[in-house]
């Protein structure tokens, strides 16, 4: 995988993957405004570097929910990794382990909770969709806790699937041999029509996912697990304040990679108001549009504890499996090291809001 930056990955993956699979990963909702803004918004933030700082000894390690990781870049949950590589989430887990960071496993994974847990000893989080059938959600949570996962990331921005027009145009469906593995042993799931199970798009989501999720359900989730709970999909100070009020351990500022409600702010622009509202009472993370190590530095300066990446590591996985995931993380790590040195930040702890400003024009 002879690439020197993350932007070179997507065209290579497009050449390799079937059109339907590529479009499923690359596409956003409707006009793709929020998806594009996730990336371009970083360009509206400028650095205020400090000079004459000793950066001869750098340290990119940090702690997330009490676990030390080698760099403040984690893997966001993305669905069905076997769409792009035969080993799927197993290769992803090994790539994250090689760089000493967290992988977040999707509810809609193509390898099981148990198999991914057995693959490496690195800390792993689990992304949970709340199902109308609460026993289905409980079924997942109990398995995750038993397998040593470190946190539950409850996705809160999907009462319905966003309108993803490329998938509609392509009639997106699961190719033969690709399954949602986390429900293989769930009896009620086996009763669903095979044709519906294979689509894994709006009809399935709208049938299965809870569209009446409210703040009172945080209490329900807390009652069935001792794991830290993070909410993924928060974009406003109002919801951030409510999350803290309901005792969550973390917030992931996210617009689902621009795949849900088109027209919401870029996550880097939503981040500051969430950080302010949380006021240190929970850890704040973000995903969306991270393509450079300098993007990571900007997010940390605006208050993120760490960031998550999604599409870039999926392209890396598609191109070269475990080594591709590792390469994506290593590129970002090298870029972050350089950006921190040039900004005058020897360690993650040295980064604060004084290092950035909004562009004036």
Distance set, CA 163 to CA 167, 196, 201 (Å):
9, 18, 10
Among left, alpha and beta (phi > 0; psi -120 to 50; other), residue 201 is: beta
Q: Tokens 């939503």 appear where?
A: 270
Q: Tokens 């949602």 appear where?
A: 180
Q: Please give the structure tokens belonging to residue 302.
A: 């605006």
For residues 128-139, one letter each, b for 16 or more C-beta atoms within 10 angstroms of the residue's C-beta and e for the rest, the string is bbbbeeeebbbb
DSSP state of 93: H
Q: Which helix (H) or strand (E) holds 18?
A: none
Count CB-CB contacts under 10 A for residue 263: 12
Indicate the burial class of 237 (C-beta count within 10 angstroms; 0-12, 13-18, 19 or more). middle
Q: Find out whether 305 and 285 touch, Cβ atoms under 8 Å.
A: yes
CA distance 10 to 145: 35
Catalytic residue among 81, 85, 97, 256: 256
3-state DSSP: the chain helix, strand, coil percent, rounded to 5?
Answer: 50, 15, 40
Q: Find out whether 308 and 18 touch, Cβ atoms under 8 Å.
A: no
Indicate the burial class of 148 (C-beta count within 10 angstroms; 0-12, 13-18, 19 or more). exposed
Residue 256 annotated among the catalytic residues of the structure:
yes
For residues 287-315, one letter each, b for 16 or more C-beta atoms within 10 angstroms of the residue's C-beta and e for the rest, the string is bbbbbbbbbbbbbbbbbbbbbbbbbbbbb
Count CB-CB contacts under 10 A for residue 119: 21
Positions annotated as catalytic residues are: 256
């Amino acid at each position: 995988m002879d690439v020197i930056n993350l932007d070179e990955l997507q065209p290579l993956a497009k050449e390799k993957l079937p059109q339907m699979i590529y479009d499923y990963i690359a596409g956003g909702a409707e006009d793709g405004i929020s998806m594009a803004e996730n990336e371009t918004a970083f360009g509206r933030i400028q650095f205020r570097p400090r000079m004459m700082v000793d950066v001869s000894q750098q340290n990119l390690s940090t702690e997330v929910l009490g676990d030390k990781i080698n760099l403040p870049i984690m893997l966001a949950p993305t669905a069905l990794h076997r769409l792009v590589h035969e080993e799927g989430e197993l290769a992803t887990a090994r790539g994250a382990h090689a760089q000493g960071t967290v992988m977040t496993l999707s509810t809609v994974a193509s390898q099981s909770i148990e198999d991914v847990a057995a693959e490496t000893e690195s800390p792993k989080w689990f992304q949970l969709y709340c199902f109308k059938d609460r026993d289905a959600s409980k079924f997942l949570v109990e398995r995750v806790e038993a397998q040593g996962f470190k946190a539950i990331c409850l996705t809160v921005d999907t009462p319905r699937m966003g309108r993803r027009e490329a998938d509609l145009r392509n009639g997106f469906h699961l190719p033969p041999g690709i399954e949602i593995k986390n429900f293989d042993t769930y009896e009620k799931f086996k009763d669903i029509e095979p044709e519906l199970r294979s689509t894994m798009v709006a009809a399935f989501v709208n049938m299965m996912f809870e569209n009446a999720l409210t703040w009172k359900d945080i209490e329900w989730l807390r009652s069935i697990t001792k794991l830290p709970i993070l909410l993924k999909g928060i974009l406003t100070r109002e919801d951030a304040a409510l999350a803290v009020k309901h005792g969550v351990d973390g917030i992931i500022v996210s617009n689902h990679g621009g795949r849900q409600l088109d027209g919401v702010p870029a996550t880097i622009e939503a981040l500051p108001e969430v950080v302010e509202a949380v006021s240190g009472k929970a850890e704040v993370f973000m995903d969306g549009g991270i393509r450079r190590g300098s993007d990571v530095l900007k997010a940390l300066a605006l208050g993120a504890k760490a960031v998550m990446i999604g599409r870039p590591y999926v392209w890396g996985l598609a191109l070269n499996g475990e080594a591709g995931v590792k390469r994506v993380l290593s590129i970002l790590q090298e870029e972050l090291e350089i950006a921190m040195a040039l900004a005058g930040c020897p360690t993650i702890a040295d980064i604060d809001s004084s290092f950035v400003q909004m562009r004036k024009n």
